Amino acid sequence: MAFMVDLFVLELSLFELFCRGTIIYWAIFLLFRLGGRRNIGSLGFADILVVLLVAEGVGDALTGGTQTLIGGLAVAATIIFWSLFIDRICFFFPKIGKVLEPSQLCLVKDGQIDLKNMRREYVTRAELMEQLRLQGIAAIGQVKRAYLEQNGEISVLRYDEDSHEGLRTYSD
């Protein structure tokens, strides 16, 4: 019976657990935000390894060494709270969203590669061309626009698909 009590009795206050979860959430959020959007696109083996190591590295800092179910749930609730809060804030206040969430970035415009934007996000020419080939594009001249999206993926608008000349895209 003592085992069951140990699972639910808090070793730290809910306030301290909330503060720990808040500080760790915002620190990791800012680190990944400053790291660029390529870190959140498609996850490769090295990316998954980084996520696992970050989780392991901050585990004790999040809970303060507590092993109770309530403590773990309080920290999980804090992380979910901040995630939902950011989503809502960015929806209702787009100017804040521009700071907290990266906007799309044009990598190709009218068949010309924007080297400045590619350098800004450390996208190599080879990576760009690989993404274009995966979308069935053989030559850069077929691309009207290519954007590095918020989620790290590259979206492409082709010339041959754009039969609506004069209509503007969302970013123009």
DSSP assignment of 56-84: HHHHHHHHTT---HHHHHHHHHHHHHHHH
Same domain? For 34 and 96 the reply is yes
Residue 81: which domain range?
A: 2-100
Q: What is the pLDDT of residues 35-66, one digit of tens each?
A: 655 544 555 555 666 676 677 767 777 767 76
Q: What distance in Å separates the CA atoms of residue 32 and residue 57, rounded to the nearest whole number?
A: 15
Same domain? For 74 and 92 the reply is yes
Rg of the chain (C-alpha set): 22
148 in a structural domain: yes
pLDDT band for position 76 (cuts 50, 70, 90): confident
Residue range 125-137: mean pLDDT, rounded: 92
Which carries the bigger pLDDT value, residue 43 or residue 97? 97
Same domain? For 92 and 141 the reply is no
How many angstroms separate the first and last alpha carbons of the chain?
65
Same domain? For 90 and 111 the reply is no
Quick check: 69 pLDDT over 60?
Answer: yes
Q: Using the 3D structure, point to which of 83, 100, 117 is the last residue of a domain.
A: 100
Q: Nearest-5° angle of CA 88, CA 94, CA 100?
A: 75
Q: What distance in Å separates the CA atoms of residue 22 and residue 16, rounded to the nearest whole number?
A: 10
Alpha carbon of residue 130 to chain centroid: 21
The whole-chain average pLDDT of the chain stands at 79
85 in a structural domain: yes
Q: Supply the pLDDT for residue 169.
A: 46
Residue range 126-138: mean pLDDT, rounded: 91
This model's pTM is above 0.75: no
9 in a structural domain: yes
Residue range 113-140: mean pLDDT, rounded: 92
